[in-house]
Structure 1
Amino acid sequence: MAMVTILLLALVLLGSSVWVGLSLVGIGVIGLEIFKTMPVIRLLGQDVWTSLTSPELVALPLFILMGDILFHTRLAEQLFRGLAPWVSPIPGRLLHINVLGSTIFAAASGSSAATAATIGKITLPELLRRGYQPSIAMGSLASAGALGLLIPPSLVLIVYGVLTGVSVLELFTAGIVPGLLLASCFSLYVMIHAILFPNVVPDEKITMTLAEKLKATIGLLPMVSLILLVIGSMYGGIATPSEAAVMGVFGSLAIATYERVLTVKLLMAATASSVRTCAMLGLILGGALFLAKAMAFLGIPGQVGAFVASLHLSPVALIAVLIVFYVILGCFLDGTSMIVMTLPVTFPLINAAGYDPIWFGIFLVLVAEMGAITPPVGFNLFVVQNLTGASLGAVSKSIIPFFLVMVAFTLLITLFPQIVLWLPSLI
């Protein structure tokens, strides 16, 4: 009865457009008031305070601020100029800048929407002006932008680590190989598509000497240096994720200063954007952690676990069911909300099935990436639509092949979990 009530409350509150964080708190409060006799308000206050003052969360607002500062610099423009000479000879040509640029920027921003918006505002107008097919230009950007959720420092991985108690550093390490492999799969699809349909790419070549190519590549140094500073300090044992985030903020300020764009107006805009994002994430996290505790008091995870066990699903079949479940859920919720709402139920199931918690974190990020490009609420779709003026239907259609690549890649790491777990096992 409690499980049915919780589901109905979720449908009513989320369906009535109540903020996700408030909906999660409301579901927990009402459920406990109905089925348990306990001081709900005191429990709520203690739980929210404890969860939101967790030391692991310090890195979250700092990485958000770092990404917001970089958003106002000219790094995307430098990425385009630096990468263009090298990808020109490859089938698909400048389309690969969407993938490579997003991969590089994701390693500094940690945000999917910020990656797509920053790279897209430079690449999309240039690609369309040169005559590249709009569909594959939009699809490659929206999909590759989602790499911001996977490649460290991923904000979603920090949230997952806080909610489950898994090491954030190990999660960051686990995201590197899958992130690079998924980016390679996107580029491979672009190459195959360009070979099969040559008309999607204009017949042009960038002719430059090696010296000119190297000179253009110098523009990549600020971004690469920042990535090495942040990621290298963590994996080298020099800094914790929170300390690395501090260095990332100072590094982004140094880049903005070097480019002569650091102004009071930029700092105010970046800070205001970071505060809005942190407030949203804080409310969702507080609500999710309280709901998880409420569901534990009500015994719901155990009930769901017993029901799933009665189905006698194999571990692979369980993952297949979860993929379908999360894809459907991703049509209506953003990735962070989707993950924090379902973890109290799915995490025990995964542990019981014998899957590694680190592996499951990467799996969840992959399905969250799918949610970032699925209508009607895929954030990256809105970013691309805003950049191009195309209809939501056209943008949604453009991501279908890349979405299928994501599904295939998720099945691949399910069959070969060492793709995810190999690198963390070395540290």
Structure 2
Amino acid sequence: MDFTELAIALLLVLFLLLGSGVWVALSLVGVAVVGMAFFTDRPIGASMYSTIWTSSTSWTLTALPLFIWMGEILYRTRLSESLFRGLSPWLSWLPGRLMHTNVIGCTLFAAVSGSSAATLTTVGKMSLPELSKRGYSEFMSVGTLAGASTLGLMIPPSLTMIVYGVITNQSIPKLFIAGIIPGLILATLFMGYVVAWGIVKKPEITKEPAMSLKQRLYESRLLIPVALLIITVIGSMYSGLATATEAAALGVVGALLLAAVQRSLTFSSLVESLLGTAKTSCMIALILAGASFLTLAMGFTGLPRGLAEWVGSLELSPFMLLVALMLVYIVLGCFLDGISAVVLTMAVVTPMLNDAGIDLLWFGIFVLVMVEMAQITPPVGFNLFVMKGLTNHSLGFIAKAAAPMFLIMALMALLLIAFPLLATFLPSYMNEATM
């Protein structure tokens, strides 16, 4: 059987399992078992338990539950309220005015969260009622929040970055640092969209009361906790003082202190944060274990090598290869969540990237943009469902409102292709000790 028939057979098994409602992780294991049982003579049991054990005991993976716990703790604090009060006095002069709090609030919270869902929920509970009360467009409020919350995947610390780094054996701190410039540029593009909306539509919205510089600075004190957490987590890694896991531990300590100071840390909220962390961590770890076994099985079947050789025979330029992969991830985003799409494809995509001479560190940032797009792509864009729970709008309304943000992300992907230094510049200056 040639690799084309093998690929079709395994894809049919995968779609059958996913379509029948089997968990993504178990679907990956199922495909791996079928591939090894029917297309190789390798022992399945020994390969499965050794691979799953190795992937589950990776030291790099210890940063994952710590960052998740930090986000769970912050989600239960009054950080979102502080963000709105600290930002709003400085935004009333911009076209679009307080609509920018969606973008800037998501950018700041993303730097201490790592999850787009946590970013969307936290900032949304703060901004949506305030913007609605002041007469802002519901369409714009929903669209900008749904799109900007995906920055939780790009701006470090990012859970998807950790997953990608574990799968491809890339430095987690370098991936974190690589996402800073593209994340800030994407946030700037989102703000540009809000500015354009403010200039073209000239919406009639309630003006904020005038404030003196002293009053603005006083309100800005509420941003200090966020700034300190960002400096602690990102600064410790960039300076080489801490690894990703150590920085995550520092972030948890900082989040606990912030919750204690705000008196929002009760025994019940602490238990809830631990349970939320355990659920999310177990889900991601199980997916990683399944993906690790699938990667091994695909290597035994020779499918990645055959597909890479076939793509090589097409003589696609690196640009055309990236455009093709961009389309593939957009389609996958219609049916899979971001982490699942990454772990599902990297076993096949990595050999193709290596043959094309594409930097895996850079591709990690590129694929994150694709994953961000998937978060607001119907029918299963995760952020669409979270937003529906917050607003009770239809999925169609939310998807339509977020469509301009989707196009902005596509533009960001093209900018990364045209200017790869956007992602590789900062990591090239990192201290070797952080690798």
Q: TM-score w.r.t. structure 1 length? A: 0.98
Give yes or no for the alignment of 1:144 onto 2:134: no
Moved more, 348-357 or 115-124: 348-357
SS at match of 1:108: coil
Residue deviations 1:166-186, cap 9 Å, x none? 111111110000000000000
Give yes or no for the alignment of 1:378 onto 2:381: yes
Map residues 13-412 of structure 1 onto 2, 5 A cutoff: 13-199=17-203, 202-412=205-415
SS at match of 1:333: coil
Verify the 8 A CA contact 1:124 1:137 in the aligned structure 2. yes
What amino acid sits opposite 2:153 in the alignment?
Answer: L
What amino acid sits opposite 1:307 in the alignment?
Answer: W
Give the distance between the partners of 1:426 and 1:419, measured in 2 at CA.
Answer: 13
Number of aligned residues: 426
Verify the 8 A CA contact 1:185 1:405 in the aligned structure 2. yes
Give the distance between the partners of 1:81 and 1:37, measured in 2 at CA.
Answer: 63
Residue deviations 1:221-242, cap 9 Å, x none? 1111111111111111111110
Give yes or no for the alignment of 1:416 onto 2:426: no
Give the distance between the partners of 1:389 and 1:128, measured in 2 at CA.
Answer: 14
Structure 1 runs of 4+ off > 4 angstroms? none
What amino acid sits opposite 1:426 in the alignment?
Answer: Y
Gapped regions of structure 1 (runs ≥ 5): none
What amino acid sits opposite 1:129 in the alignment?
Answer: K
Moved more, 325-334 or 31-40: 31-40
- The alpha carbon displacement at 1:4 in A equals 2.1
Give the distance between the partners of 2:133 and 2:392, measured in 1 at CA.
Answer: 14
Residue deviations 1:333-364, cap 9 Å, x none? 00000000000111111121121111100011
Verify the 8 A CA contact 2:125 2:390 in the aligned structure 1. yes
SS at match of 2:101: helix
Gapped regions of structure 2 (runs ≥ 5): 431-435
What amino acid sits opposite 2:216 in the alignment?
Answer: K
- The alpha carbon displacement at 1:30 in A equals 1.4
What amino acid sits opposite 1:237 in the alignment?
Answer: G
SS at match of 2:380: coil
What amino acid sits opposite 1:268 in the alignment?
Answer: V
Give the distance between the partners of 1:311 and 1:407, measured in 2 at CA.
Answer: 25
Give the distance between the partners of 2:201 and 2:357, measured in 1 at CA.
Answer: 44
Verify the 8 A CA contact 1:88 1:206 in the aligned structure 2. no
Give the distance between the partners of 2:377 and 2:207, measured in 1 at CA.
Answer: 33
What amino acid sits opposite 2:143 in the alignment?
Answer: G
Give the distance between the partners of 2:21 and 2:243, measured in 1 at CA.
Answer: 38
Q: TM-score w.r.t. structure 2 length? A: 0.97
Residue deviations 1:159-204, cap 9 Å, x none? 11111111111111100000000000000111011101112x5151
Verify the 8 A CA contact 1:158 1:168 in the aligned structure 2. yes
Give the distance between the partners of 2:162 and 2:381, measured in 1 at CA.
Answer: 21
Note the aligned Cα RMSD (angstroms).
0.9
Verify the 8 A CA contact 2:376 2:399 in the aligned structure 1. yes
Residue deviations 1:376-403, cap 9 Å, x none? 1111111211111111110000011111
Partner residue of 2:433? none
Verify the 8 A CA contact 2:135 2:206 in the aligned structure 1. no
Residue deviations 1:31-58, cap 9 Å, x none? 1111122221121111000001000000
Verify the 8 A CA contact 2:65 2:277 in the aligned structure 1. yes
Give the distance between the partners of 1:337 and 1:383, measured in 2 at CA.
Answer: 18
Give the distance between the partners of 1:158 and 1:123, measured in 2 at CA.
Answer: 29
Verify the 8 A CA contact 2:134 2:206 in the aligned structure 1. no
Question: Residue 206 and residue 351 in structure 1: after superposition, are their counterparts in 2 closer, same or farther (change >3 A)?
Answer: farther
Give the distance between the partners of 1:223 and 1:118, measured in 2 at CA.
Answer: 14
What amino acid sits opposite 2:65 in the alignment?
Answer: P
Give the distance between the partners of 1:175 and 1:78, measured in 2 at CA.
Answer: 25
